[in-house]
Amino acid sequence: MGQDTPSNFTFGGGASGTFMHPVVVIALIIAVLIFFFAPRKYLPIPFLSLIFLGGIGQQINMAGVHFYVLRVLIIAGAIRLIYAKLTSKEGIFAGGFDWIDRLFVMWVCFQCLASILRNDASAGVLVYEAGYFLDYIGGYFFLRFLIRDESDILRVIKVFAALTVILGLAMINEKFRNQNIFGYLGALPVAPGIREGAIRAQGALAHPILAGVFGVVLIPLFWWLWYSGKAKVAGVLGFLGSIAMMLTSASSTPLMAFLAAVGGCLFWPFRKRMRLVRWGIVAMIIALHLVMKAPVWMLIAHVDVIAGNSGYHRAMLIDQSIRHFSDWWLIGTNAAGTWGWDMWDLSNQFVQEADEGGLATFICFVLIIARTFGKIGKARKLVEDDRKQEWFMWLLAVTLLTHCVCFFGITYFDITKIVWFAFLAIVTAATAPILAATKAAEPAKVPFLTTAAPASRSPQPARSTEYGGRARQSTGTFYHSRDPKARA
């Protein structure tokens, strides 16, 4: 294999030739064979394992086109997905093609279009955006294909638990022995970075912050494994691995996200009053903005939980982006680096969406988050009579909150984006049967409903819409729900 190693894989550098370790080549061949011949339920194991245990930076270069491990797997997955679509009479996505899917496609398309228009549609830009489109659209919908029901959700979270254990142990080794074992694959440095005298472990991720973020955003899902009793050992081990990743990364963003996850769980007793809580937070932010000498977002500059953190830089990113709204609102801008010191480093996902994609891209990204929160909230209300299901919905909301906190401190510019895609797929798979059961019951509503089917109709077979806890039975006009309008 070629050894034309780029000087900086982390921030977007690319090799001019093929760069792939022999171990990764063998693993990639095995993974592709599994994609073509194994049952669908086993596909998340090679897909996630290879991506997060050495896939970063490994690539095949063909005529100037970079086929990273992720892209090769996505192409193989797309072939499997198309075959399933052509040979199956059932839908291949849980809940069908819903509004979050539409917003996701619009988000990616607006981002690509803005970049092409901003950079004069040169050949290099077109190739880059084609790769971006493949990574995002292909990766997201392949995960939607893989994650359809509770058993798929459980399997994927258990795979993530195993990955956090492996990465956590590797990062502990990196922290205390000053040696990143994933660096021997050639794409990452063997010697870890140091800030303020503290080693910042990064494992197989592109940056220490992303390594910590990877572990933290999965913690609420590991809590569900433990609480549900479906995989207590995996839940505990995953949690310990995530804590190890967070601590050894020596970064503020993962720690703040962890505190947000804990705080979100503590709000469980107030779950039926969250509208009041949300508006209270909005009112508090407005009040602080009115009484503070500086804008309210400058509070981020005062976050100092890890020595050497860049809270001031994050606050200035938001400040300068708002002040230069006219520069980026249409198709983004290439001039963000001229707004101030270090402003080229867009360490904020919201700012990046705005500055690189324009207002349309930013709105789509925010709507994806809002719609996902709304879907989880609606499903939670429908399962209030089932504590286990309700708690799972709450933990999904906490996971989304954790992602949002991370978005204020880093962009998911490496393989971490796959965790985000997987989470969106999990939400749809978890909520689809609950929301579908409600939709099925709505057309049958008539005054003075009874559990008995009308005499003029033949009895309808019971349809089980089980997910997570007790089965919900729908028979004729009957739907088991706490909602009096949907009850017989």
Q: What is the DSSP track for 147-185?
A: --SHHHHHHHHHHHHHHHHHHHHHHHHHHHHS--GGGGG
Q: Does residue 380 lie in a domain region? A: no
* pLDDT, position 482: 39
Q: Does residue 259 lie in a domain region? A: no
Tokens 């919900």 identify what position? 472
Q: Does residue 246 lie in a domain region? A: no
CB distance 423 to 217 below 8 Å: yes
Global pTM value: 0.86
* pLDDT, position 443: 56
Q: How far apart are the first and last CA of the chain?
A: 68
Closest by Cα among 146, 193, 117, 118 to 48: 146
Q: Does residue 75 lie in a domain region? A: yes
Half-sphere exposure (Cβ direction) of 68: Cα atoms closer than 13 Å: 23
Is the CA virtual torsion 397, 400, 402, 408 positive or negative? negative
The rounded distance, in Å, linking the Cα atoms of 488 and 485 is 8
SS3 of residue 413 by DSSP = coil
Q: Does residue 389 lie in a domain region? A: no
Which 8-state DSSP code applies to residue 462? P
Closest by Cα among 465, 310, 304, 294 to 386: 465
Closest by Cα among 309, 315, 433 to 375: 433
SS3 of residue 478 by DSSP = strand
Which 8-state DSSP code applies to residue 458? P
* pLDDT, position 472: 41
Give average pLDDT by consecutive 10-residue segment, the chain, 488 residues.
Answer: 40 62 94 96 96 89 85 96 89 92 98 95 89 96 96 97 98 95 92 90 95 98 94 97 96 95 95 91 93 91 75 92 96 93 92 96 98 96 93 97 96 96 97 85 47 45 42 34 39
Q: Does residue 294 lie in a domain region? A: no
CB distance 429 to 149 below 8 Å: yes
**Cα 273 to Cα 189, 276, 452, distances in angstroms:** 49, 6, 36
- Quickly list DSSP for 261-278: HHHHHHTGGGGGGHHHHH
How many helices (H) and strands (E) in the chain?
Answer: 17, 7
How many domains is the chain built from? 1
* pLDDT, position 478: 27
274: left (phi over 0), alpha (psi -120 to 50) or beta: alpha
Q: Which residue range(s) make up the domain with 56? A: 1-92
CB distance 446 to 479 below 8 Å: no
The string of pLDDT tens digits covering residues 438-463 is 776 665 444 433 444 444 444 444 44
SS3 of residue 433 by DSSP = helix
Q: Does residue 196 lie in a domain region? A: no
Q: Does residue 356 lie in a domain region? A: no
CB distance 249 to 171 below 8 Å: yes
